Structure 1
């Protein structure tokens, strides 16, 4: 499979054109994807050569996943961190932190 990449603005980050949205990862609020399934999805996305996962601090609010989204993404990519470009979940507070 051929994956197309782009440079994100003036940041110098090279990201896949496809971005995996993590809003529904978690089991509270409006989230509907448990950690096992989210990890499977994340690994399949990375295995396909993509490297852009959307985590945003808005997902930490109670309405979406109560912060579970960022925590799940962080655990799922921990061993593959060098394959992911852009923001990464912070280790303690679930908020996005620059790489």
Structure 2
């Protein structure tokens, strides 16, 4: 696996980043075991850069990722995104400081990390 510097962050990440939208999971074509196996295989092959988002399957993909990386967190760079509608409330979308900080906390909880 090739590794590159991530901007000015001072860390090296795998050139390939695993996206965890698990689109098939949303439509019933990918089960939890397959999603977990996908993450585990990528890590075994040297991928240390994994991307997710709070809105992928209403946070469920972050929960699955949290299970898959348990015990491996220190070796990985995890990114997640905020913005999309994740609830019914007026503040459940957007990039206000309030929404971002709340989603950081929620994502960390779903990922069961940090």
Give the CA deviation at 1:12: 1.6
TM-score, structure 2 normalization: 0.63
Match of 1:56 among 41, 53, 61: 53
Report the equivalent of 1:79.
71
Name the structure with the higher helix share: 2
Total equivalences in the alignment: 87
Q: Gapped runs of 5+ residues in structure 1?
A: 60-64
- 1:26/1:12 Cα in 2 relative to 1: closer, same or farther (>3 Å)? farther
Give the CA deviation at 1:32: 4.3
Query: Residue 65 of structure 2: SS of its match in structure 1?
Result: helix
User: 1:25-82 CA distances to partner (integer Å, 9 max, x unpaired)?
Assistant: 684x4574322111111111011111011112242xxxxx111100000111012112
Name the structure with the higher strand share: 1
Q: Gapped runs of 5+ residues in structure 2?
A: 81-106
TM-score, structure 1 normalization: 0.71
Determine which structure has more spread, i.e. the larger CA radius of gyration: 2
Report the equivalent of 1:35.
32
Kept in 1: contact 2:6–2:12 (CA 8 A): yes
Report the equivalent of 1:5.
3
